[in-house]
Structure 1
């Protein structure tokens, strides 16, 4: 069952091109639905003794996120070849081999999120985000609108591709570090094949395209 509105292919055929995306960001197409699936996934070891006592071990410090997208209409015509764009993106990853960045349009913002405290020595910190009280690392940054140390804005820092912030000077002992901005999910495809169907001459469908966030 598809989630989100269904747009007939004849409507999508006339929509403007979204343009070329960044090479490492999954392209967004006019004919794709809202997420058909998004769920956190944990890994737990479970042992049950002969007496029935249950013992568990959590193997992940944070969950992976599984996503699934349906493309109801992917255009392929001279001057507007979305099909080739998606296939080329998949092939550059070599299926499951490589990783990419996914921008979730409903889950990407942080506002004054506290991601650590200074100790007077450490200069590099991993950016994180929170879902209510749960905190997890961020491995891709869209932009940083504001970075503060103890409430004071700072600009003397750099950000790595994996979301690590390095300050020019180590924040002082106990000083709170906060950021406001947007993030990506760093992901990899769940399959080595990308299945498509051609219901119309210049329109393709790609169903159940799934991928999962990764820990670099």
Structure 2
């Protein structure tokens, strides 16, 4: 467990298809003259992730069924290590009240991440000892404030829950199972 949340089972090595949907809650007002005013109440987008696993073994299918049951469907959030978006390398971090928040960068759009591991921190390109800092809620805090540029490498997780209250696993052949899941990012 990381930060009290369970991790999704590591079944990423098999054939899969995925999609990510980003949505914003934007209000658009158009005046009689045609002028448009827009507003959003969201600081970050809502993300929906869909993944299909086409070749799960019977054991992996049972493991996934147990994981969903332990979460009680969509009741309990968990950590998702996305097959494509999970690693940050050489990210420049900004000091905010003594904390350096970890970030993910998706095509130039940056948002904070709260669940990281395998962290390596550098100050002015020099690797720092693990004892020089701590990591909490995706933020790096130094025991002694550094006086240079802080960069970091890390693995980050998405905090999600199942969009449905259960899953259906289809048995295709002996020891070959197929399942599709939809996840929603939790803030």
Smaller-chain TM-score bracket: 0.7 to 0.9
Q: Which runs of 5+ in 2 are unaligned?
A: none
**Normalising to structure 1: TM-score of the pair?**
0.71
The structure-2 alpha-carbon separation of the partners of 1:193 and 1:132, relative to structure 1 and needing over 3 Å to count, comes to closer
Residue of structure 2 in register with 1:181 after alignment: 154
8 A contact 2:171–2:177 mirrored in 1: yes
Q: Does 1:128 align with 2:103?
A: yes
**Partner residue of 1:114 out of 92, 95, 111:** 92
Moved over 6 A (4+): none
SS in 2 for 1:46: strand
More strand by share: 2
TM-score between the two structures when normalised by the length of structure 2: 0.81
Distance across 2 between alignment mates of 1:45 and 1:72: 39
**Cα 1:140–1:35 shift into 2, 3 Å:** farther
Query: Which structure 1 segments of 5+ residues have no match?
Result: 1-20
Q: Take 2:176 and 2:34, find their aligned partners in 1: how far apart are those partners?
A: 56
Q: CA deviation at 1:210?
A: 0.6
Q: Deviations over 1:119-169 (max 9, x none)?
A: xxx32232112235321111221311x312344433311112x31222213
The higher relative CO (CA closer than 8 Å, separation ≥ 6) is in 2
Structure-2 residue corresponding to 1:46: 28
Gap change, CA 1:167 and 1:64, over 3 Å in 2: farther
Partners of 1:171 and 1:60 in 2: CA distance = 33
Secondary structure of the residue that 2:17 maps to in structure 1? coil
- 1:49-64 matches, within 5 Å, as 49-64=31-46
Q: How many residues align?
A: 183
